[in-house]
Chains A and B, each alone.
Chain A
Amino acid sequence: MKKIAKENLPKLFAEVSAAMDLFTPVKMADVTNWGLWDDSRVADLDTLKTVKSPKDVFFPQCQTLYMVHHDDNGFEISPMKLTEKPFCVFGIRPCDVKALTVMDQVFLNQEPVDTFYKARREHAVLVSLACHKPAQTCFCKVFGTDAAAPDADVAMWKIDEFFYLEAQTEKGTAWLDQFADAFEDAEGAGDKIAKEQDSIRSIVESLPYTHLSLEGWGPGKVEEKFNDPHWKELSDACLACGTCTFVCPTCQCYDIKDFNTGHGIQRYRCWDSCMYSDFTLMAAANNRLTQMQRYRQRFMHKLVYFPENNNGLYMCVGCGRCVDKCPQALNIVKVIKTMGKENADV
């Protein structure tokens, strides 16, 4: 166990960023999002939820795959270089760590492997901060995440004005060793952390969605849930803005597009949303014509199709971002409750 005083963090960040890319939550224009740290920026470790999840760091919102140049001899394809150097993601929350294991199912555990994502995952050191003040919209416990015990290379707790860090993997140990000078020894802090964990877990128990039941969802429910009459009324107010998919840490659908740089064609992929009407639009037809169908697709994918294909793993981690951000208050909690066992008003 190591510790570092809050006031010494900028010094640690300077050392880390001299050695490797360092991503932290950064506040800009009153909004906290993940960014590359440099000494002009102040890491914001107090805000519980970044607006967008750190999936950006591993699966960028826009990412060039390859360039195509064209001359008299024809095309020349230049694939983009993959990440080759270690980098650090400092302050990632337990639900967002869990979200990476969900995305791993798509990008790493189903052939063919996504090499761009794989390179990012393999070179990342995750330093995860426990959630000391979980919010009313948090429901990570429903999906098996413990907000008090981050499951990452290094687990971190903030108690009073100190951050306590414990390595949980070889990669985490090596990272703490690499920057050993920045830390103080904190053997014997176990009791203090256990007490803090108790406090976190008791807050989690008191949150309104913590005991949300997933009964009625999951593998084997395709026909029953697809034909449920509630989809219509639930989706009526949906604006098709796609905010839920963009703030979601597990939504991984993407588009591949072209950008003409003037010197060549950049083929890039970018986040896309199943909520948009052109997501499935073809020259001949569109197989999901109504917003009800698109809305249903998103939740069926997260709560039925994905779990059926991935041993019961849900494509939701209970981060609550969609609960916070949907302008029409149409969120996954409402869907789970309305069509699940609880069938209660939210």
Chain B
Amino acid sequence: MSEECLCHNDKYVRDALIPQIGIIQKITQETPDVRSFQVIKPGGGKLIDQMPGQCAMICAPGIGEAMFSITSSPTVKEYNEFSIKECGELTTYLHGLHEGDQILVRGPYGNHFPVEDKFKGKNLLFIAGGIGLAPLRSVINYCLAHREDYGTINILYGSRSKKDLVKLEEIQNVWEKAPNTNVYLTIDREDPEWNGHVGFVPTYLKEVGFDTDLTAIICGPPIMIKFCLQGLTELGFSKEQVYTTLELRMKCGIGKCGRCNIGTKYVCKDGPVFRCDQIDELPQEY
């Protein structure tokens, strides 16, 4: 965000709070309440260069602005993709938009998963629930694009039902066929159209019983994260091996508006990615 703004004095860069225009190039209905939006610059090209796990602020003028994780991998050079669940005022509005419509975007914000150091050479275990796949998808696809840098990739993903599995086509056609990659899918309740595993993610985690040489990355509803952490501990994982993301209300995205402050951290700039032992050091207020 360092381009010069014509409206501003030469001495100042364009303020970080001022967004850019993004064009919705493609909308995919992933599940009944999740849509993915591919966003590009007006005239084409990628809007934001990000690292896996980083977020961006999306604004619909007159409606609101909120933080969303960038679902597409940094290795995708043509666009940024956001998978968004319809659950509040802004997301409902976004779901009503069409291909070709404009939104305002600023970012990237926050830290990212340590794909360049801590994850390198490691066997990885991704655990996701529901829309929690969105931030992990950028890491998974980044790791698959740099396949030789990482060991075995395990992906454990669950949702309420088959139709609530986000990116199912990509999971079955790309991830399941990727080298040295194991995919474990589960849904909460029996479904005549589903012949795979049925049961909650934390239970399935213990049933599979992963080796403790893995680095685990969890994202999903808070209750799922909590029980997965317990499960991993029971399997013998230490908290230094487990990463997750936090999400709190944000307005600025740059550690100034005060909303996402927990202890000495601002989730928007010091997060959203935290190692579980780092989370333990925060006041219990998230």
**B12 and A301 within 8 A (CB):** no
Residue of A with least CB distance to B284: A226
**B256 and A107 within 8 A (CB):** yes
A274 proximity list for chain B (CB < 8 A): 258
Distance of A256 Cα from B79 Cα, bound (Å): 27
A79-B62 in contact given A222-B263, A222-B283 (Cβ < 8 Å): no
B65 proximity list for chain A (CB < 8 A): 256
Say if the beta carbon of A68 comes within 8 Å of chain B: yes
A186 proximity list for chain B (CB < 8 A): none
Q: How distant is B104 from chain A, measured CB to nearest CB, in Å?
A: 7
Distance of A53 Cα from B264 Cα, bound (Å): 26
**B5 and A79 within 8 A (CB):** yes
**B17 and A256 within 8 A (CB):** yes
**B12 and A82 within 8 A (CB):** yes
Distance of A133 Cα from B196 Cα, bound (Å): 79
Distance of A98 Cα from B47 Cα, bound (Å): 40
A287 proximity list for chain B (CB < 8 A): 248, 262, 285-286
A107 proximity list for chain B (CB < 8 A): 256
Contact with A along B41-69 (1 / 0, CB 8 A): 01000000000000000010111110000
Residue of B with least CB distance to A107: B256
**A77 and B9 within 8 A (CB):** no
Say if the beta carbon of A11 comes within 8 Å of chain B: no
Residue of B with least CB distance to A67: B61
Say if the beta carbon of A40 comes within 8 Å of chain B: no
Distance of A260 Cα from B60 Cα, bound (Å): 12
**A267 and B61 within 8 A (CB):** yes
Distance of A119 Cα from B7 Cα, bound (Å): 14
Say if the beta carbon of A74 comes within 8 Å of chain B: yes
Number of interface residues of B (CB under 8 A): 48
A78 proximity list for chain B (CB < 8 A): 7
A282 proximity list for chain B (CB < 8 A): 88, 247-249
**A119 and B257 within 8 A (CB):** no
Distance of A77 Cα from B102 Cα, bound (Å): 12
Distance of A78 Cα from B63 Cα, bound (Å): 18
Q: How distant is A69 from chain B, measured CB to nearest CB, in Å?
A: 9
Residue of B with least CB distance to A70: B61
A283-B8 in contact given A68-B61, A226-B283, A253-B258 (Cβ < 8 Å): no
B76 proximity list for chain A (CB < 8 A): none
Residue in B42, B87, B88, B249 whose CB lies within 8 Å of A74:
B42
Distance of A78 Cα from B12 Cα, bound (Å): 15
A280 proximity list for chain B (CB < 8 A): 248-249, 259
Main secondary structure of the interface of A (DSSP, over half): mixed
Contact with A along B236-251 (1 / 0, CB 8 A): 0000000000011101
Residue in A252, A255, A260, A309 whose CB lies within 8 Å of B251:
A255
**B87 and A283 within 8 A (CB):** yes
Residue of B with least CB distance to A222: B263
Contact with A along B271-286 (1 / 0, CB 8 A): 0000000000001011
Distance of A81 Cα from B251 Cα, bound (Å): 21
Distance of A77 Cα from B61 Cα, bound (Å): 10
Residue of B with least CB distance to A226: B283
Residue in B59, B64, B87 whose CB lies within 8 Å of A284:
B87
A65, A106, A118, A287 pick with most chain B CB within 10 angstroms = A287
Interface residues of B in 17-52 (CB under 8 A from A): 17-21, 23, 42
A279 proximity list for chain B (CB < 8 A): 249, 259
Say if the beta carbon of A163 comes within 8 Å of chain B: no
Distance of A82 Cα from B17 Cα, bound (Å): 13
Distance of A265 Cα from B65 Cα, bound (Å): 13
**B12 and A309 within 8 A (CB):** no
User: Which of A109-117, A135-143, A164-172, A188-196 lies at the interface with chain B?
Assistant: A109-117
B257 proximity list for chain A (CB < 8 A): 253-256, 269, 272
**A112 and B42 within 8 A (CB):** no
Distance of A285 Cα from B247 Cα, bound (Å): 10
Q: Would you mind naming 7 contact pairs between A and B with Cβ atoms under 8 Å apart?
A: A65-B18, A78-B7, A79-B5, A80-B7, A106-B256, A269-B17, A297-B285
A79-B18, A118-B12 known, 20 other contacts, Cβ within 8 Å: A77-B18, A79-B8, A82-B8, A82-B9, A110-B255, A112-B254, A114-B16, A119-B12, A223-B283, A253-B258, A258-B64, A265-B61, A267-B59, A272-B251, A283-B89, A287-B286, A297-B261, A300-B263, A300-B283, A301-B261
Interface residues, chain A, with chain B CB atoms under 8 Å away: 65-66, 68, 70, 74-75, 77-82, 84, 106-107, 110, 112, 114-116, 118-119, 222-223, 226, 252-256, 258, 260, 265, 267, 269, 272, 274, 279-285, 287-288, 293, 297, 300-301, 305, 308-309
> 5 closest Cβ contacts across the A-B interface?
A283-B88, A253-B258, A265-B61, A112-B16, A68-B61
